[in-house]
Amino acid sequence: MASPAKLAHVVLRTGDLQTMIDWYIDVLDSRVVYANDSLAFLTYDEEHHRVALFNAGATERPTPAHSGLEHVAFTYSELGDLLDNYQRLKAAGTTPFWSINHGTTTSLYYRDPDGNQIELQIDNFDTDEELEAFFNSGAFAANPIGVEFDPDELHARLKAGEPKSELIKQTGPAATLGQDR
């Protein structure tokens, strides 16, 4: 049995195609590969499209009562890239609704104009062995949600030269996964 080589793209239904195109271009620093009145393909790398938007006339926003997709996550290579993007988006008026260190990732959660949740993250471990050691330590089992953090403070600490190994440590009170997320 063979596993897929990669996750190619996600497709989202919308009723406001241009607003969604603009948001994903801005948030992911992506570009339009193809668009018409019905759909758009966007990418930010070598894949022909990572996000597809389908103009289905959909206007009902997802709620916690809906089954289906919880969120889509996009991983950055470096903490600096994630936090620099946070600063860029914040300056343009786009802010995360949740900033959390899950232990496995340091993550910023956003809502697109249709209410879909988008996670921008970095992996906190460089190797599978380090990740397994974290899981086997019991730390994740004790706090599977993580700890919230202030991205402005984290960015300032990074710019001041504090090493990533210190910045990605979980410190502070444990978070709960509330209905408002």
- Please report the pLDDT score of residue 63 as a whole number: 84
Mean pLDDT value across residues 80-102: 97
Q: What is the tens place of the pLDDT at every residue in 138-151?
A: 888 988 899 999 99
Fold of 70-181: 3.30.720
Mean pLDDT value across residues 102-116: 96
CATH 3.10.180.10 spans which residues of the chain? 8-58
CATH 3.30.720.110 spans which residues of the chain? 70-181
- Please report the pLDDT score of residue 53 as a whole number: 98
The model's pTM is: 0.92
User: Is pLDDT above 50 for 44?
Assistant: yes
User: Is pLDDT above 60 for 181?
Assistant: no
- Helices 79-91 and 151-159: angle between axes, nearest 10 degrees: 120
The number of CA neighbours under 13 Å toward the Cβ of 128 is: 0
What residues contact residue 20 under an 8 Å CB cut-off, 6+ apart? 12, 14, 40, 53, 112, 113, 114
User: Is pLDDT above 70 for 119?
Assistant: yes
Are 33 and 42 in contact, with CB atoms under 8 Å apart?
Answer: yes
DSSP labels, 160-175:
TT--HHHHTS--SPBP
Strands 117-123, 71-76: pairing is: parallel
- Please report the pLDDT score of residue 170 as a whole number: 82
CATH 3.50.50.60 is right for the domain spanning 8-58 = no
